[in-house]
């Protein structure tokens, strides 16, 4: 899609496709930016049942939307549906941002760049000394974070997962310097880690906490979590109590939204404390 100009932004409609999608914070983010930049576009939740997603995406060009975000459980279906995927989307195996270009559906995955932009903003220079990094989990979020870290040369990456085969398949998929491990190996891996990333759902409100002993981590290590409900997960709280640097997961959500907004509405928006506060206000008891 040619980036929109201010004169063409009226009536541009975008949204987030998911099932369920009512919980998504993306409307809060994009509506904040639309208001801030005085643009006439719209951004709404687009609930699409799994049985309807393939057909919905096939006819996306005539849906009236200029583009959309894609969330659970449709990110893989979106990759399968696009005429063109960015290298990051192909590598991650999922699309979270759609746009139309010359009538054809294009897809990107902005989770990797969102993850990096968040760390760059909150902990500048975090990648200066490279790895080793320890990534907990082996799902879609882990794939995005491995692509991000590998792209920055933050290697080696140890992928630690309850189901070892899933970690092994990521190690095979992403190649050299990426290894698969059981939870039992964690203490030894933490001993030399510069970065620890949680990509599992553990620690999220309603889930069991991620109870790991952070004592082996070196004093200069950075700990980050992709969970943002609560903002300070038990993992981050225990890292902070140990005096380690921490970065919460909300910034990744905010930063991954930037490229889509620019594609659909023609203005590259910023992730500011005001935006963050607007989204934090929607977290209710999970602040
Ligand atoms: P996503 O695509 O959002 O990353 P996912 O594919 O469901 O979600 O992956 C969730 C991750 O959290 C997985 O690594 C999962 O471990 P398994 O591969 O063994 O299922 C991990 N996870 C979820 N609940 C867990 C638990 N109770 N203990 C340990 N790991 C857990």
Q: Is 237 exposed, middle or buried (0-12, 13-18, 19+ CB in 10 A)?
A: middle
| Ligand 1: centre distance to CA 272 (Å) | 31
With contact defined as beta carbons under 8 Å apart, do 177 and 156 qualify?
Answer: yes
What Rg do the C-alpha atoms of the chain give, in angstroms? 19
Nearest CA to ligand 1 atom 7: 139
102: left (phi over 0), alpha (psi -120 to 50) or beta: left
pLDDT on residue 2: 55
pLDDT on residue 11: 86
List of the chain residues with pLDDT < 70? 1-10, 285-287
Q: What does the block give as tokens for 251?
A: 């910034």
| Ligand 1: centre distance to CA 139 (Å) | 6
Contacts of 31 (CB under 8 A, 6+ apart): 43
**3-state SS assignment for residue 101:** strand
pLDDT on residue 284: 80
166 lines ligand 1 (CB under 6 A): yes
75 as an active site residue: the answer is: yes
208 lines ligand 1 (CB under 6 A): yes
Residues 167-217 pLDDT 10s: 999 999 998 899 999 999 999 999 999 999 999 999 999 999 999 999 999
Give the integer Cα–Cα distance in Å for 152 and 222.
Answer: 16
139 lines ligand 1 (CB under 6 A): yes
Task: From 200, 211, 234, give the residue whose CB has the most ligand 1 atoms within 8 Å, as the site to mutate.
Answer: 200
pLDDT on residue 285: 67
pTM (two decimals) = 0.95
202 lines ligand 1 (CB under 6 A): yes
5 lines ligand 1 (CB under 6 A): no
Count of C-beta atoms within a 10 Å radius of residue 5: 10
CA neighbours closer than 13 Å in the CB half-sphere of residue 120? 11
pLDDT on residue 9: 44
pLDDT on residue 7: 46
The 10 Å CB-count burial string (b at 16+, else e) for 61-84 is eeeebbbbbbbeebbebbbebbee
| Ligand 1: centre distance to CA 78 (Å) | 21
| Ligand 1: centre distance to CA 268 (Å) | 33
Count of C-beta atoms within a 10 Å radius of residue 183: 12
| Ligand 1: centre distance to CA 35 (Å) | 37
199 lines ligand 1 (CB under 6 A): yes
Kindly report whether the peptide bond that precedes residue 20 is cis, defined as omega within 30 degrees of 0.
yes
With contact defined as beta carbons under 8 Å apart, do 105 and 57 qualify?
Answer: yes
pLDDT on residue 75: 98
With contact defined as beta carbons under 8 Å apart, do 199 and 210 qualify?
Answer: no
Q: Is 166 exposed, middle or buried (0-12, 13-18, 19+ CB in 10 A)?
A: middle
């Amino acid at each position: 899609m040619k980036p929109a100009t201010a004169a063409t932004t009226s009536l541009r409609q975008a949204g987030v496709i998911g099932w369920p999608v009512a919980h998504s914070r993306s409307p809060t983010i994009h509506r904040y930016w639309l208001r801030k930049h005085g643009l006439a576009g719209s951004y709404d939740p687009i609930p699409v049942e799994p049985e309807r997603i393939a057909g919905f995406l096939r006819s996306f060009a005539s849906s009236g939307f200029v583009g959309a975000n894609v969330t659970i459980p449709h990110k893989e279906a979106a990759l399968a549906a696009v005429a063109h995927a960015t290298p990051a989307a192909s590598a991650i195996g999922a699309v979270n941002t759609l746009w139309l270009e010359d009538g054809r559906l294009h897809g990107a995955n902005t989770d990797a760049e969102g993850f990096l932009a968040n760390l760059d903003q909150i902990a500048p220079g975090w990648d200066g000394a490279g790895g080793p990094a320890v990534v907990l989990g082996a799902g879609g979020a882990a794939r995005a974070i491995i692509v991000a870290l590998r792209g920055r040369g933050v290697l080696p990456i140890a992928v630690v997962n309850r189901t070892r085969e899933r970690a092994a398949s990521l190690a095979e998929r992403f190649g050299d310097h990426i290894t698969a491990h059981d939870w039992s190996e964690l203490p030894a891996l933490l001993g030399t880690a510069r970065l620890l990333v949680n990509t599992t759902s553990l620690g999220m409100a309603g889930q069991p906490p991620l109870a790991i002993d952070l004592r082996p981590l070196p004093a200069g290590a950075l700990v980050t979590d992709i969970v943002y409900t609560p903002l300070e997960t038990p993992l981050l709280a225990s890292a902070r109590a140990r005096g380690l640097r921490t970065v919460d997961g909300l910034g990744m959500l905010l930063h991954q939204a930037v490229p889509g907004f620019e594609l659909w509405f023609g203005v590259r928006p910023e992730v500011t404390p005001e935006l963050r506060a607007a989204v934090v206000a929607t977290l209710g008891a999970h602040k």
